[in-house]
């Protein structure tokens, strides 16, 4: 899974220091599964090439903390 920094284009302010870039089926499926905790300045960016209810659904299997979506 690639990690990227998310920066606001106009202000240059860092919005998210460690964004896990999920653009394949497997990286999106794994997401935060078996991840012990969500650290400060850490998150996921789920990238989908098309509109789809099925492809953009989010599961909580084996995720041990609450998500803000």
pTM of the model: 0.75
Over residues 2-58, the pLDDT tens digits come to: 999 999 999 999 999 999 999 999 999 999 999 999 888 899 999 998 898 888 888
**Number of structural domains the chain divides into:** 1
Report the distance separating Cα 14 and Cα 12, nearest Å.
Answer: 6
Q: Cβ contacts of residue 61 below 8 Å, gap of 6+? A: 33
Exposure string (b/e) for 27-41, b if CB count within 10 Å is 16 or more?
A: bbebbbeebeebeee
By residue range, what is the domain housing residue 26? 1-69
């Amino acid at each position: 899974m690639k990690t990227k920094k998310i920066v606001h284009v106009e202000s240059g302010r860092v919005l998210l220091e460690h964004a896990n870039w999920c653009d394949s089926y497997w990286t999106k499926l794994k997401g935060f599964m078996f991840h012990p905790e969500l650290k400060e300045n850490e998150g996921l960016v789920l990238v989908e090439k098309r509109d789809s209810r099925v492809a953009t659904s989010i599961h909580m299997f084996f995720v041990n903390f609450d998500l803000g979506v």
